[in-house]
Amino acid sequence: MLKRLAVALVAMVVGFSPLTPQIARADAPYWQCVTFARLTSGIEIRGDAWTWWQSAQGNYRTGSEPEVGSVLVFRPTGRMTRGHVAVVSEILTDRVIRITHANWGGSRGKIEENVTVADVSDAGDWSAVKVWYAPINDLGSSVYPVYGFVHNERLGGSTLIASLPSALG
């Protein structure tokens, strides 16, 4: 219980920091989460977001620990029937990260940068997360199940070089 309160406190402090999520310009192209994650991370997986976890098996290193540049793969649930993918942009604590992703919630087709995500799983294994919701300046009330992280390293040892597109800045 104390660990969850600590995670919530860190997320609140981070949410009020000057690095709160930024939404892309209105004239920016319409982005899908999969296209954005593939281009940003360099991970060459195609198909709906929920298929990334299975597609990564045997091809990319996967796990339950975030790394900058890895892709967080959300399970399909509720209105998010195709899942979701997001690129880890920063690790703040063992249970709080920032992601950059596209086509989420009220930002349809837009890119959101440095969005706070907190691990709220009982085991601390990143199997369930809450995502920062800017309109209320807090973590949203929804808990999203996730598969884990696909890392930008092909099995066999080659790390892919990828960075956020310069058009974001």
Domain boundaries, the chain: 2-154
Confidence band of 169 (pLDDT split at 50, 70, 90): very low
SS3 53: helix
Q: Summarize the confidence of residues 148-164 as an average pLDDT.
A: 74
Q: How many residues appear in the chain?
A: 169
Q: What is d(CA 130, CA 44) in angstroms, rounded to the nearest whole number?
A: 27
Question: pLDDT digit string (tens) for 114-141?
Answer: 999 999 999 999 999 999 988 889 999 9
The average confidence (pLDDT) of the chain is 84
Burial of 53 (0-12, 13-18, 19+ CB in 10 A): buried
Which candidate, 151, 17, 26, 14, places its Cα nearest to that of 87? 151
Q: What is the pLDDT of residue 25?
A: 56
Report pLDDT for 17: 45
- pLDDT digits 0-9 by tens, 59-115: 999 999 999 999 999 999 988 999 999 999 999 999 999 999 999 977 788 999 999
What is the Cα–Cα distance from 130 to 68, expressed in whole angstroms?
A: 18
Whole-structure pTM value: 0.78
Query: How many whole angstroms separate alpha carbon 163 and alpha carbon 70?
Result: 11
Domain 2-154: CATH superfamily is endopeptidase domain like (from Nostoc punctiforme) (3.90.1720.10)
Supply the pLDDT for residue 47: 95
Specify the pLDDT at position 31.
94
Residue 116 and residue 98 in contact, taking contact as beta carbons nearer than 8 Å: yes
